[in-house]
Amino acid sequence: GNSVTQMEGPVTLSEEAFLTINCTYTATGYPSLFWYVQYPGEGLQLLLKATKADDKGSNKGFEATYRKETTSFHLEKGSVQVSDSAVYFCALRGDSGGSNYKLTFGKGTLLTVNP
Amino acid sequence: KAGVTQTPRYLIKTRGQQVTLSCSPISGHRSVSWYQQTPGQGLQFLFEYFSETQRNKGNFPGRFSGRQFSNSRSEMNVSTLELGDSALYLCASSLGLAATGELFFGEGSRLTVL
């Protein structure tokens, strides 16, 4: 079945540092890829997505590029802020019907940004 | 517009009891999905309901069940609670089937089993 592996946290950075959170996936066909973010005490929110190879999703200064050759969808931000402190989830949606046609999440990476 | 509402937000039960959690989706959304979130396993898919029918199911025992009403509100039930059922239960709604669009999550119901 489909699976998502993301780097284990926690990740602690200083404000204005560069952020990379690695995400790789296992899936057949052409899945869609997502990053969700969970701020403290809140539910998950969609951060960005990419639906086909070489697509780049971007939002709020975050970017991720769908790399089919390396089965990766790494999240990056050039300059993090304290307000970016949250748990980040990489997710995959299979492209076929049946049991694969649902969202599969990674375990999440806790990011803490210090002033 | 109002977001996804889950009740109760916190609850404590003892082993062997049962629990019912409720989820009210965003108005107009017809799909409700349920996830279990634990520190060790992360987010695990429980099931999805669309137009009152279960459309997809994860790998959880039969003690976990759900239903959806005609107004799209959903409930999940866990019977014969075990310590390992302690978790944050998240509900997510979407306009169409969950796989076709963006999911909107509630803040979750945190269940503690003693």
A11-29: pLDDT as tens digits: 999 999 999 999 999 988 8
Compute the average pLDDT of residues B70-98. 93
Residue-level pLDDT at B75: 98
What pLDDT does residue A42 have?
Answer: 85
Are B77 and B20 contacting, i.e. CB atoms less than 8 angstroms apart? yes
Alpha-carbon span B1 to B8, nearest angstrom: 21
Judged by a CB distance cut-off of 8 A, whether residue B32 touches chain A is no
CA dihedral A24, A27, A33, A36 (to 10 degrees): -70
Judging contacts by C-beta atoms under 8 Å, the chain A residues touching residue B107 are 41-43
Size of interface A-B (CB pairs under 8 A): 50
Q: What is the pLDDT of residue A99?
A: 57
Residue of chain B minimizing CA distance to A95: B99
**Which residues partner with B65 through β-bridges?**
B77
User: Lowest-confidence range among A11-25, B25-39, B62-76, B94-108?
Assistant: B94-108
- Candidate from A43, A102, A107 with C-beta closest to B4: A43
- Which pLDDT value is given to residue A36? 95
Average pLDDT over residues B65-83: 97
| pLDDT on residue A96 | 63
**What is the average pLDDT value for chain B, to the nearest integer?**
92
Write the residue in A42, A46, A89 that is nearest to B43 by C-beta.
A89
Q: Average pLDDT, whole number, for chain A?
A: 91
Q: Assess contact for A94 and A29: CB atoms under 8 A.
A: yes
Listed range (B18-22, B92-96, B100-104) with the worst mean pLDDT: B100-104
Determine whether the interchain pair A42/B56 forms a contact, defined as Cβ–Cβ distance below 8 Å. Answer: no
Q: What is the pLDDT of residue B111?
A: 98
Mean predicted confidence (pLDDT) in B70-74: 96
* CB-CB under 8 Å, A44 with B90: yes
C-alpha distance from A41 to closest chain B C-alpha (Å) = 7
Q: Check if the beta carbon of residue B105 is closer than 8 Å to that of residue B3.
A: no
Contact (Cβ atoms closer than 8 angstroms) between residue A64 and residue A50 = yes
Select from B72, B71, B66 the least CA-distant residue to B19.
B66
Cβ atoms of A100 and A36 closer than 8 Å? no
